Amino acid sequence: MKFNVASRLAYEVRETTVFLLNIEAAALRNQKILSERLNLTPTVAADRHELDGGTRLVRVVVEPGTFEVDYAATVDLSMYDADPASLSETPVAELPLEVTPFLNPSRYCQSDRLARFALREFGALPPGHQRVTAICNWIYDHVDYLSGSSTSETSAYDTMVQRAGVCRDFAHLGIAFCRALSIPARFASSYAWQLDPPDFHAVFECYLDGAWYLFDPTRKAALQGLVRIGVGRDAADAAFATIFGNAVMTDMAVSISPVEEVEDEEPTVRAVGIA
């Protein structure tokens, strides 16, 4: 399925500031970029780098004044899918070494502090995709989705205590629970079809049976309509903008729509992935 995605960011820059932008759609085997453009106003030199997992960073140095970022792309999304019941967990001894960092606690995903609860609540469940689904169901049932209830400092442990958060908090909690059970899990940012209101959307991926599969504890968007932007240990690795200096956001707009008009789809019952 083909999607048009776009984002616009506007800032008031108060001193010379470095921006690390992460808003471009990832170039992946199952996510092909058919066309794209990135306009920076004022025009400034941009350094580009692609990380493992397809994350594409753009670094710019901006002088004081108004700064605008305008990105648009057309993406052909062809996710792989599988029967959830067929997907098992991979023993740590058999994991690819490049996957093992996603077993460890991170800044926002303190799996070590949540391990006792995760083992008690989910440890006896049948392993595999169904156990991760049970984790997502628990988060959906026990954590309120509440805008403004968290900050950029809120961690998975905080969300567990407060029992409220937004998409990044739901993803962080899911990641922490999975890692506590020795299931590799990573944070993923995306453009999300059917998300209302439109915004950047956070989900997570788990490594099962040799591939990464998507999970969204918020149930706010269809998994088969996620255009992935970046991945990382947690939101610190996949923020849409990391700022070194002094700049204040004054406007943001995000959109995604199918290239061809289609009816809204029900969330898939299949296990799906992109990378």
pLDDT in tens, 53-88: 899 999 999 999 999 999 999 999 999 999 999 999
Judge whether residue 264 has pLDDT over 70.
no
Residues 6+ apart with CB under 8 A from 192: 198, 199, 201, 203, 220, 221, 225, 226, 227, 256
The pLDDT, as a whole number, for residue 265 is: 63
Whole-number average pLDDT of the chain: 96
d(CA 58, CA 241): 9
The pLDDT, as a whole number, for residue 261 is: 81
Closest C-alpha to 174, from 267, 111, 232: 111
The pLDDT, as a whole number, for residue 101 is: 98
Judge whether residue 237 has pLDDT over 90.
yes
Contact 2, 75 (CB under 8 A): yes
Judge whether residue 267 has pLDDT over 80.
no
What is the reported pTM? Answer: 0.95
Domains and their CATH numbers in the chain? 85-191+201-227 (3.10.620.30)
The string of pLDDT tens digits covering residues 4-47 is: 999 999 999 999 999 999 999 999 999 999 999 999 999 999 99
The pLDDT, as a whole number, for residue 266 is: 67
The string of pLDDT tens digits covering residues 117-137 is: 999 999 999 999 999 999 999
Residue percentage of the chain with pLDDT more than 70:
98
